[in-house]
Amino acid sequence: MLTRIDHIGIACFDLDTTVEFYRATYGFEVFHSEINEEQGVREAMLRINGTSDGGASYLQLLEPTREDSAVGKWLAKNGEGVHHIAFGTADVDGDAADIRGKGVRVLYDEPRTGSMGSRITFLHPKDCHGVLTELVTSNPEH
């Protein structure tokens, strides 16, 4: 069962400049940053609040590390802005299978490693009314 909005992913050309905007404008601070080589992104997670299920809600700022990454291609086509929405779940495998059974295309056969050691998969935007949707099971160590 989906339990929360885990994060909103925002694609940007310059991570440092975008982080500074969110810090100066809204007071959001970087909770975690990393480079995800598999996804081809450098990212910063800005923690917005905690949630009753022990998770949190974040803004995820994404700068591509290479032009051929999914975020790099998306930025070239669309420019900066909201890239995806992610829902938190205790069971990404089970929820992905359930959603697949309802006719929605799940983009990964097996969940991959996401931010902060989470397990993730994506749902095809054409099956989700134009919204790239991510399912996230958080790493309990974070």
Catalytic residues: 7, 43, 60, 84, 134
What three-state secondary structure class fits 116? helix
Report the alpha-carbon distance of residue 68 to residue 74 in Å, rounded.
10
Burial of 115 (0-12, 13-18, 19+ CB in 10 A): buried
- Burial state string for 25-54 with b = 16 or more CB within 10 A and e = fewer than 16: eeebeebeeeebeebbbbbbbbebeeeeee
